[in-house]
């Protein structure tokens, strides 16, 4: 079997400036809303943890931060098709403005499942998705991400929170692992 290699796709500085402009867009949109409650950010662990930490520090608005751990991937590089939700505990978020933060939208199953769950449970005032990466070509569920850092082709990516069988999450850049 051929040895897999890491090839940098987005450098640390490129990610940093994109995250900044994304946060600006989010702040502009959410500061127009007429509600005195904070925006609820739901970060999808583990992959979105670095993106979330960087993004929210650029969001100059009152926010409430929550985490869920859910995915549709096994340890392989192809979506297993099943949703795994080892941590799906949220406080009462009825009627709130909710923004889900995800690392990558691939088949769309994870976000599709989570959006449906949140809608059922909390009837949110608004429900949007911010994803660092969007792999549109692999979509199986009709899901749109409202804010996207980078549109990517069908590569398997690691770093900046994303893993391959739990390796490489700590890399400060995003790399193609093939």
- Residues in contact with ligand IMP by CB under 6 A are 47, 71-73, 79, 102-110, 156-158, 162
- As measured in angstroms, the least distance from the Cβ of 39 to ligand IMP is 21
Catalytic residue among 54, 97, 106, 163: 106
154 is catalytic: no
- As measured in angstroms, the least distance from the Cβ of 79 to ligand IMP is 4
8 A C-beta contact, residue 95 and residue 39: no
Q: Reply yes or no: is the peptide bond before residue 46 cis, omega within 30 of 0.
A: yes
Q: How far is CA 100 from CA 95, 116, 165, 166, 167, in A?
A: 15, 12, 24, 22, 24
Tokens found for residue 66: 């929550």
Nearer to ligand IMP, 124 or 159 (CB): 159
8 A C-beta contact, residue 93 and residue 125: no
- As measured in angstroms, the least distance from the Cβ of 4 to ligand IMP is 13
Kindly indicate which of the ranges 30-38, 41-49, 56-64, 168-176 contains the residues binding Mg ion, using the contact rule CB under 5 A: 41-49
Instruction: For residue 47, state whether it binds Mg ion (rule: CB under 5 A).
Output: yes
Burial of 52-82, coded b for 16+ CB within 10 Å and e otherwise, reads bebbbeebeeeeeeebbebbbbeeeeebeee
Instruction: For residue 71, state whether it binds Mg ion (rule: CB under 5 A).
Output: yes
The residues annotated as belonging to the active site are: 106
Binding site for Mg ion (CB under 5 A): 47, 71
């Amino acid at each position: 079997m051929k040895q897999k290699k890491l090839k940098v796709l987005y450098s640390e500085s490129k990610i940093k400036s994109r995250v900044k402009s994304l946060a600006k867009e989010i702040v502009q949109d959410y500061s127009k809303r007429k509600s005195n409650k904070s925006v609820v950010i739901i970060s999808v662990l583990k992959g979105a943890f670095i993106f979330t930490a960087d993004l929210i520090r650029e969001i100059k608005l009152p926010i409430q931060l929550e985490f869920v751990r859910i995915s549709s991937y096994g340890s392989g590089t192809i979506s297993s098709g099943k949703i795994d939700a080892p941590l799906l505990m949220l406080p009462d978020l009825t009627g709130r403005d909710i923004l889900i933060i995800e690392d990558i939208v691939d088949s769309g199953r994870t976000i599709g499942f989570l959006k449906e769950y949140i809608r059922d449970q909390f009837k949110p005032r608004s429900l949007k998705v911010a994803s660092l990466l969007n792999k549109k070509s692999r979509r199986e569920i009709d899901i749109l991400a409202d804010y996207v850092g980078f549109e990517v082709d069908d590569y398997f990516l690691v770093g900046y929170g994303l893993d391959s069988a739990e390796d490489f999450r700590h890399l400060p850049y995003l790399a193609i692992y093939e």
